[in-house]
Structure 1
Amino acid sequence: MSKDRTILITGAGSGFGEGTAIGLAKQGYSVIAGVHISPQVTALRNKASALGLQDKLRVEKLDILDACDVNIALTWDIDILFNNAGYGESGPLFEIPVDLLKKNFETNVFAPLALTQKVVAKFIREKKQGKVIFTSSMGGIVAPVGLAPYCVTKFALEGVAEALHNELKPFGIQVQTVNPGGYLTGFNERMGETALRWLDDNKNFTSRNTFLRQLDLLIGNDSGRLDPQEMIDAMIRIVPAGDGKYRNVVPKFIEDFLKDHQARTWEEII
């Protein structure tokens, strides 16, 4: 795909988003890195300057829940939207306060959809064959005990992406997902801590120790602490590409696990 196209990345203040923004800029793409809070603007601008990327990597505040930020972003001339912003709530789904789950859906599903609707409407009006990518997760396909609140938001995002993939084909607009496995960016560790805000051994059926043991089984091992550079490299390849797979699970052993999991659900006994 032409390097003249401009790529907007949300959630680019840390982790996959930041690494992908820097990597794409290094390859010569014009990148707008949307970050959540103002201190991240200064930090990433300084990094871009130190790397000599200030002409390719533009850093702007873009809180996808802030209508003013979104309206400003809609004035930018972009060709690719990479919906990467998100966060996670953890804990037992049958006990989590629903208000927390609603907040997680707002950030992970409704806000990216609202931004995408506005961006693709602009693409269509301008007869631009743009592209939209969503950061989903292996948790968009499997919902393990302990991380299910976050996972169900990604299940919903999978439905959003699949619908848009089919709806936007007639307009020449491409849609993809990237589905990371358990990479050590700090995201999963921060997500794990969220349940400790409300889990109470005097109130909840799930004890804090039980939850922490479940969490350790998921992310306290080598398969839950993979080198994030592998995923960043994949994103750098996938995001600007003019063709490729609709769903992109990395690493391969997680893709194999998810396919096996989906097959086994057809035989699952209650």
Structure 2
Amino acid sequence: MKHIRTFLLIGLIRLFMGVPTAAVPPLPIVEDTEVVALTLGEGGKTILECIAFAHRSSNPLVEYYTVFFELVWTNTGRPLRVNPTRIDFEPGEVVSGNNLDYLDQYGDNRLTLVIFDQQFIGEWVYLDIGSEAPPTSFYNALRQRTQFLLGFAFEDQDGIHYGWAEFTRPDTIFTTGFDLTASAWNPLPGEPIMAGTVPSAVRLVSQLTDQGLRLTWAAAASILLLEYADELRPEAQWQILREVVGTEIILPPPERTRFYRIRKP
């Protein structure tokens, strides 16, 4: 018996629902702690880390720390902004190559989410120093927020991909950190994605007929690449079979188990 497998294709969005590598650390925070890391792409690269930094006072006789939660971008990951005056995205806004990279006045793309001081004087006391932040800073915009959406881009083996990440916290107390609760990215290089939205996947449907193996799909581009692989694993080698136009193609039935997918060139 011949075996045919089909593969989800155009518009397939991978969704990662809040699987942090660490939890928001409890107070007090006296050492640098990774809160969460976001790993994406075919190679599984970490593109974003949220780290709680604890900077102790230079006076060894005083237990005094400045603590700040910061998004640190690694490898090719970089945050995007909606426009020159706004960084966070509203649900449904498009994340694409039309968005600008976020850079602060020093040319850095790190984003501070929470900042406070803590001191031990018989007990731990926490000081809200966030009111000193510039009114136009991203941190200042988050002080009364429990949720925000961030758009980002990263480069994988096949090109630049766009995605979004949602960060939430249970309250607006100045010591409460944000956690990553959801994210998604478009596996089609160069294609946009709507913030906070996971579009329905377009399926590749197979059917054995008297004429051969019939593959059908919803039209999404004028020219597409039909690819196949003999196994469905992260390291699978996808081979281009041919360019296709329209919404279906009929192929000779394969002699062995084979997987198919369609993507934009």
TM-score computed with the length of structure 1 as normaliser: 0.26
Greater share of helix: 1
Considering Cα pairs closer than 8 Å and 6+ residues apart, tell me whether 1 or 2 has the greater RCO. Answer: 2
Greater radius of gyration (CA)? 2
TM-score (structure 2 length as normaliser): 0.26
